[in-house]
Amino acid sequence: MLRGFHTATAGMISQQRRMEMLSNNLSNSNTPGYKADQSSLRAFPEILLKKMEQPTIPTTKPIAFSQNQPIGGLHTGVYLQEVAPKHTQGDMRQTSNQTDLAILNQALPEGASIFFTVENQDGTLRYTRNGNFAIDQQGYLTTNNGLFILDDNNNRIQLQSENFELQQDGTILENGTFNTRIGIALAPDANALTRDSNGLYLLNNGEALPTAINNPGTAFQVLQGHIERSNVDTAQTMTDMTAAYRAFEANQKVIQAYDMSMQKAANEIGRIN
């Protein structure tokens, strides 16, 4: 019975963490470039129960020997194994803002994704799909929280004004003259990235991603005056939240039933009338 308490509690904890993940997805459903987290639940290792006994052979001098009789398997609960972003393409929304940029995936290797390259405050590289950019007082192209956007040589992009033209291959023109080419990085395995704050990603080992420009098997377009919307499916997320709540509630009722059984055993079993 005590093992049942642990099993039901593990189920409640995993569903609570799943609910937190889904709530975070829902709160970011309008964040440009946000990639919804998805979770996987896994059972704890199964335990094989055996009955230990000592049968006795009825001989002149009885002989006892140990014997293990298999009873069956027992699962000890479930846990939230991992939470990972789903790097699928979000819908495009036209904003007519010259500094809003979006990456449109056309052809990518399986499991890969591409990103804008960003310089973090400590000088290290970060990657984002949120193209809601701006131009600071010095004319540098930045994220909405002031981080510098980098070109294909990992240099900061400085512009004369917002009246620049971005071609679909990422080339930036000012007054018809070439300025630079925005940096687009390729993550061959998007699941190897770690989510950072403000919609940024980085590699676990801190290394730089290779460029997606002229990379075989990779094709994309960079759209000006558009942003990529979050890929959160709000209707499905609400459905998953309801399912998680019901699973949490079911485990809660199991614990209540065990508690009532323990109370009955403590108060009634063995009572001397």
What does the pLDDT look like over 76-112, one tens digit per residue?
Answer: 778 788 888 999 999 999 998 999 999 999 999 999 9
- Residues found in the chain: 273
- Measure Cα distances from 177 to 138, 151, 164, 224 in Å: 20, 16, 10, 17
Query: How much is the pTM?
Result: 0.80
For residue 180, give the H/E element and its range: strand 177-181
Percent of the chain with pLDDT strictly greater than 90: 60
* 139: Cα within 13 Å, side-chain hemisphere: 9
SS3 helix, strand, coil % of the chain, rounded to 5? 25, 35, 40
Average pLDDT, the chain: 88
For tokens 């759209």, name the residue: 223
* Digit-coded pLDDT (tens) for 7-63: 888 889 999 999 999 999 999 999 999 999 999 887 776 666 667 776 776 667 777
What CA–CA distance (Å, rounded) separates 211 from 222?
14
pLDDT digits (tens, 9 = 90+) for 111-155: 999 999 999 998 899 999 999 999 999 999 999 889 999 999 999
